[in-house]
């Protein structure tokens, strides 16, 4: 269900003796209510409104078991306030050769560090091809 349009509180809609109070209330309430109204009408964004981090990392598998050429670390801002629940892969793009695609479903393994996460293994990518992975890292 889509909400009807939001009508801002306007002092001219009230009696003259109430307008001073309504003016103060409208200053405090109109913007926050309008923001919440927009959020529930499909204006919520992952990056701005959900406790998550979106990061990209370049990886290269050296064998079909998902062993990486190097184990990149993704630093998460404010790690103390961001207990990591897990991550989801949102995109995998080949950097080395156009039109090279993952060979199966991609699974990213990681360890939590003091500053973020360290990618330890990636299964499902072709061997020897650089891929840029876009990941959403979720907080608990």
Q: Taking residues 122-136, what's their average pLDDT?
A: 92
Q: Taking residues 9-31, what's their average pLDDT?
A: 91
Q: Taking residues 49-59, what's their average pLDDT?
A: 85
pLDDT > 70 fraction of the chain, expressed in percent and rounded: 94
Q: How far apart are CA 57 and CA 14, in angstroms?
A: 56
The confidence score (pLDDT) of residue 106 equals: 93
For the whole prediction, is pTM greater than 0.85?
Answer: no
Domains of the chain: 11-43 (no CATH), 47-139 (2.60.40)
Q: How far apart are CA 60 and CA 51, in angstroms?
A: 29
φ, ψ at 42 (rounded to 5°): 65, 30
């Amino acid at each position: 269900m889509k909400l009807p349009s939001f009508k801002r509180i306007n002092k001219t809609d009230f009696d003259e003796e109430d307008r001073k109070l309504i003016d103060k209330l409208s200053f405090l309430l109109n913007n926050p209510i309008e923001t919440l109204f927009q959020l529930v009408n499909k204006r919520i964004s992952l990056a701005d409104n959900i406790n998550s981090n979106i990061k990209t990392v370049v990886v290269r598998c050296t064998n079909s078991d998902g062993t990486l050429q190097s184990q990149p670390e993704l630093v998460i801002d404010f790690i103390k306030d961001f207990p990591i629940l897990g991550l989801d892969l949102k995109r995998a793009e080949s950097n080395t050769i156009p039109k090279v695609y993952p060979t199966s479903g991609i699974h990213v393994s990681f360890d939590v560090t003091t500053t973020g996460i360290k990618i330890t293994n990636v299964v499902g990518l072709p061997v020897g091809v650089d891929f840029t992975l876009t990941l959403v890292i979720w907080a608990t």
